[in-house]
Amino acid sequence: MAGELIVLGNPVPLPIRIGIGLLGVITIMAGLYHARLRLRRSAAYRNGLALAGRVAFEGTQGEEADVARILFSAGGRHWRMTVDRRGAEHLIERPSNTVPAIAWLGKNDIVYAIDADGRSLLPISPGREVNPANSAPPLYQRNQKV
């Protein structure tokens, strides 16, 4: 009886089934990566190295308006990372280029958690150390006309 209620037409072609399966695998891998980043973030808050410095908003990541690129600087060292833009709106609206921040580093000197101006930012990618002299220019200059 139950088989009579569900009537399937032509079966889905094999290439389409493979494509849908690959998209599912990519989605699962992205979810696992994000969960691992969240776990490392909480571990950095618990027993990571807290480093006081300043953070500057650099711009949005590509065409993604929901992802903001920031640069954290402390003691002559710099880390670039991407964060959720909704949490970083106060950085964009500030008249000054930088705000005080505290970053928590993991055992491998990678920033996994950052609090800017008293607000916790949600990282999309971990903060990797960069050399500003050799890195790409910022995506957005605050005083530059577009």
Map out the domains of the chain as residue ranges: 11-146
Q: How far apart are CA 57 and CA 60, in angstroms?
A: 9
Q: Read off the pTM.
A: 0.71
Most distant CA atoms of the chain, gap in Å: 73
Q: What is the pLDDT of residues 99-114, one digit of tens each?
A: 899 999 988 889 999 9
Q: Residue 123 pairs with which residues in a beta bridge?
A: 83
pLDDT given at position 60: 77
Q: Are 111 and 127 in contact (CB under 8 A)?
A: yes
Tokens (6 digits) for 74: 């402390």
Q: Residue 77 pairs with which residues in a beta bridge?
A: 74
